[in-house]
């Protein structure tokens, strides 16, 4: 007896994109977008299309036919080779990125009880180093080499969550990483309470779009920080109480080469920004929670702007991870800095239920074709993305919601 259901011997070597082999039949190879160290650089340089062997799976694992993949900033980091060469974490000389997917379970390991071939799923990216013995996590598709930018992806059974039948493949693939992270940051780590006010950096970005929705659902007022009028509109449509355009406060950004004069200007800008918060709230009060991820450029302001006993919850550092801030503002006003990193299966499951119930909505703003996956990342790198974006992988066109519907369209196309 083998650990997994075995594919028939007449499995095709490789299947063209936009087609699938019979359910449960696993080809030898798959189409994938691959990062290699010799190509490290901006996304259009680091990603290349290759034919790769389909993954073998172990007893705790599943193989999923990817219908659509969500696009996240972590694949940009992986391709840049910064701030770390992530290939060193798995030891292979190639990396298939992609930490969000929707698709169909194609093969199931012998120890996986909850899922079967044919189930329609989304995948959360909390990959356990030793399932069952430790909650130490790595991020699937970032610290593991088997992510969703390929026809087939390998994940642990515990990473699967049900796909909402109301969502298209691309919508379902678009929310997991950023939404589950934002949910963990605000609900589990900062423990936001009704009546609190929350400053959300990047209010029109991936994390921020969900932070706004979660604040609203929790009875909090979200003040979204954005950099354009279009993004302001997007944030307000998601339920922000108000918006601040950070371009009106250019001196607020911390720069590592700061001299005394610039520091003075930055403090002036922070004060003006604080007054803008009062204006948005309609009262002279500070925010209890700051939702942080830009990092170096905004962190000193975040610490300063949080109220007495306030919380600064942080999960990322887009503008730089070596942070400088005046610690007196932290201790004198007894504020707390809270680190947060993705989510565990329980937290992701609770967050996914809100999606299934329609209480939180995906914020997919653009769907890319497979051939444009590197360009989609380049667009995110240029900070030209609102909400979240996704790429079709197995799905032959946008708008499809179920495997049966997808097969019918594939058959029609021949």
Q: Is 189 in the site for ligand NAP (CB under 6 A)?
A: no
Residue 29 CB, nearest approach to ligand NAP (Å): 31
Question: How does DSSP assign 169-234, residue by residue?
Answer: HHHHHSSHHHHHHHHIIIIIIS---TT-EEEETTTTSHHHHHHHHHHHHTT-EEEEEESSHHHHHH
Three-state DSSP at 122 gives strand
Residue number, 7 or 226, with CB nearest to ligand NAP:
226
Instruction: Write out the DSSP string of 217-233.
Output: HTT-EEEEEESSHHHHH
85 is an interface residue for ligand NAP by CB under 6 A? no
Task: By CB under 6 A, name the one of 127, 246, 266, 335 that touches ligand NAP.
Answer: 246
Name every residue whose Cβ is closer than 8 Å to that of residue 113 and which is 6 or more positions away in sequence. Answer: 157
CB nearer to ligand NAP: give 131 or 316. Answer: 316
Stretch that binds ligand NAP, among 59-67, 221-229, 330-338, 345-353 (CB under 6 A): 221-229
Does position 294 interact with ligand NAP (CB under 6 A)? The reply is: yes
Instruction: Specify the residue, 33 or 210, whose C-beta has the smaller distance to ligand NAP.
Output: 210
Considering only 107, 189, 231, 241, the residue that binds ligand NAP (CB under 6 A) is: 231
Q: Which is nearer to ligand NAP, 57 or 214 (CB)?
A: 214
Q: How far apart are CA 373 and CA 7, in angstroms?
A: 29
Of residues 55 and 273, the one with the C-beta less far from ligand NAP: 273
Q: Does residue 178 belong to the site contacting ligand NAP (CB under 6 A)?
A: yes
Segment interacting with ligand NAP, rule: CB under 6 A, options 71-79, 89-97, 153-161, 352-360: 71-79
- The residue written with tokens 């039949």 in the block is 25
CA 156, CA 256: separation in Å to the nearest integer?
41
> Which residues, 6+ apart, have CB-to-CB distance to 146 below 8 Å?
55, 96, 140, 153, 154, 155
Under the criterion CB under 6 A, does residue 207 sit at the interface with ligand NAP?
yes
Tokens 């996590």: give the residue: 137
Closest CA to 389 of 358, 355, 354, 363: 363
Select the residue interacting with ligand NAP from 49, 110, 138, 319 (CB under 6 A): 319
Is residue 183 close enough to count as binding ligand NAP by CB under 6 A? no
| Residue of 305, 385, 390, 393 interacting with ligand NAP (CB under 6 A) | 385
């Amino acid at each position: 007896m083998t650990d997994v259901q075995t594919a028939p011997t007449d499995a095709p070597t490789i299947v063209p994109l936009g087609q699938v082999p019979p359910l449960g039949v696993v080809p030898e190879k798959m189409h994938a977008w691959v990062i290699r160290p010799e190509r490290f650089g901006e996304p259009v340089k680091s990603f290349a299309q290759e034919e790769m062997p389909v993954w073998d799976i172990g007893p705790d694992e599943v193989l999923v036919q990817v219908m659509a993949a969500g696009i996240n900033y972590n694949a940009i980091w992986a391709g840049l080779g910064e701030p770390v060469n992530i290939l060193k974490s798995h030891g292979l000389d190639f990396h298939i990125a992609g930490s969000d997917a929707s698709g169909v379970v194609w093969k199931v390991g012998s120890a996986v009880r909850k899922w079967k071939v044919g189930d329609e799923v989304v995948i959360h990216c909390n990959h356990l180093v030793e399932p069952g013995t430790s909650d130490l996590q790595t991020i699937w598709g970032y610290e593991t080499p088997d992510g969703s930018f390929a026809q087939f992806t390998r994940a642990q059974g515990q990473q699967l969550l049900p796909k909402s039948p109301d969502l298209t493949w691309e919508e379902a693939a678009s929310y997991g990483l950023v939404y589950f992270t934002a949910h963990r940051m605000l609900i589990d780590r900062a423990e936001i309470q009704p009546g609190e006010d929350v400053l959300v950096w990047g209010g029109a970005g991936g994390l921020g779009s969900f932070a706004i929705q979660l604040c609203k659902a929790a009875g909090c007022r979200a003040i979204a920080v954005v950099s354009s009028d279009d993004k302001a509109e997007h944030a307000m449509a998601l339920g922000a109480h108000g918006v601040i355009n950070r371009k009106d406060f250019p001196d607020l950004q911390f720069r590592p080469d700061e001299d005394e004069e610039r520091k003075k200007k930055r403090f002036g800008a922070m004060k003006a920004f604080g007054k803008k918060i009062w204006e948005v709230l309609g009262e002279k009060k500070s925010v209890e929670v700051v939702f942080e991820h830009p990092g170096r450029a905004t962190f000193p302001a975040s610490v300063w702007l949080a109220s007495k006993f306030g919380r600064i919850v942080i999960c990322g550092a887009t503008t730089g991870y070596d942070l400088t801030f005046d610690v007196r503002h932290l201790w004198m006003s007894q504020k707390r800095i809270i680190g947060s990193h993705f989510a565990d299966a329980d937290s992701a499951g609770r967050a996914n239920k809100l999606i299934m119930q329609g209480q939180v909505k995906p914020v997919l703003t653009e769907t890319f074709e497979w051939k444009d996956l590197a360009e989609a990342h380049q667009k995110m790198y240029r900070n030209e993305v609102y909400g979240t974006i996704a790429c079709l992988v197995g799905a032959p066109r946008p708008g499809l919601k179920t495997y049966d519907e997808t097969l019918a369209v594939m058959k029609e196309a021949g």
